[in-house]
Amino acid sequence: MKIAILSRSSKLYSTRRLVEAASARGHDVKIVDTLRCYMNMATARPSINYRGKPLDDFDAVIPRIGASITFYGTAVVRQFEMMGVYAVNESVAISRSRDKLRSMQLLARRDIGLPVTGFAHTTDDIPDLINMVGGAPLVVKLLEGTQGVGVVLCETRKAAESVIEAFFGIDVNIMVQEYIAEAGGADIRCFVIGDRVVAAMRRQAQPGEFRSNLHRGGSAQMARITPAERRTAVGAARAMGLNMAGVDLIRSNHGPLVLEVNSSPGLEGIEESTDINVADLIIQFIERHARRGRTQTRGTG
């Protein structure tokens, strides 16, 4: 098969591993810099140009779209879809997962466990917003944050009020969430491909920190997950319409709760901590599912 990997850089671990895995399985694989794709939007014969030449003949595309280029990146994926190229994750599913509120609404509708989360716009509503999530301690999150940046633990009601007011004052969107203290600074990343969790790792925050992101000094090890966690992770990916997803769960006293569903999950942490060849499993999935013209928008919303 001819496979395109949409990625900003060939040096990224995940990109390198996907190239290795595809080549090892005998495929013709090319890294395509998402932001160097350009296209004529207004034609009945959709195409993509790349460094002066048309990009054609691809059977499948693996989108690795960073959060900062979601808008342009999803347009490029959509153009591949219009050309009949199979996208492992489709543009609509990527857009859904990038919008934290939309994601939570879709997950809630499927009855998937989520931390109690509030969203508001006006300062006058802050006291009731805090009540809605059960009071302090609570977590305030920037809607646009990634890698734990903009995730703030407020231990007291007073602190929560000031933090929320400050964010409203500079006009950024935030959500307010119950703090799951019993998680003990750990979360579980489940790597979902199709309807299976193929690998899972437990990330533990550094002492004195509640955010377990590896970029914030968290450490990772292979995790054994329960059937309920497996169901939750697979259900969350399906609710987004993602064939490949990194589903972050937190272990609460009332079962697994989804924190986030990532549509371009990194391979480095998960492959190193579990010793599972996730890249190879992604390529195998493509071999089983990629058919030209079979692209369809899965899921809802």
- Give yes or no for residue 15 binding ligand ADP (CB under 6 A): no
Residue 170: count of CB within 10 angstroms of its CB: 6
- Give yes or no for residue 264 binding ligand ADP (CB under 6 A): no
How many residues form the binding site for ligand ADP (CB under 6 A)?
23
**Which one, 209 or 287, has the nearer CB to ligand ADP?**
209
Going by the DSSP 8-state scheme, the letter that residue 58 receives in this structure is -
CB of 182 to ligand ADP, least distance (A): 9
- Give yes or no for residue 204 binding ligand ADP (CB under 6 A): no
**Which one, 126 or 250, has the nearer CB to ligand ADP?**
250
Q: How far apart are CA 275 and CA 277, in angstroms?
A: 7
Name residue 266's amino acid.
G
Give the interface segment with ligand ADP, choosing from 24-32, 82-90, 205-213, 224-232 (CB under 6 A). Answer: 205-213
- Figure out which of the listed residues 17, 141, 202, 238 binds ligand ADP, where binding follows CB under 6 A: 141
x/- mask, ligand ADP, residues 149-168, rule CB under 6 A, reads: --x-----------------
- Figure out which of the listed residues 84, 157, 179, 194 binds ligand ADP, where binding follows CB under 6 A: 179
Per DSSP (E only), the strands in 53-130 are 53-54, 60-63, 86-87, 117-118
Q: How far apart are CA 142 and CA 20, in angstroms?
A: 36
CB of 20 to ligand ADP, least distance (A): 27
3-state secondary structure of 248: strand
Going by the DSSP 8-state scheme, the letter that residue 203 receives in this structure is E
Query: Which residues, other chains included, contact 272 with Cβ-Cβ below 8 Å and sequence gap of 6+?
Result: 220
- Give yes or no for residue 256 binding ligand ADP (CB under 6 A): no
Of 161, 174, 273, 260, the residue nearest 218 (C-alpha):
273
Catalog residues that contact ligand ADP under the rule CB under 6 A.
115, 139, 141, 145-148, 151, 177-180, 183, 187, 205, 210-213, 248, 250, 259-260
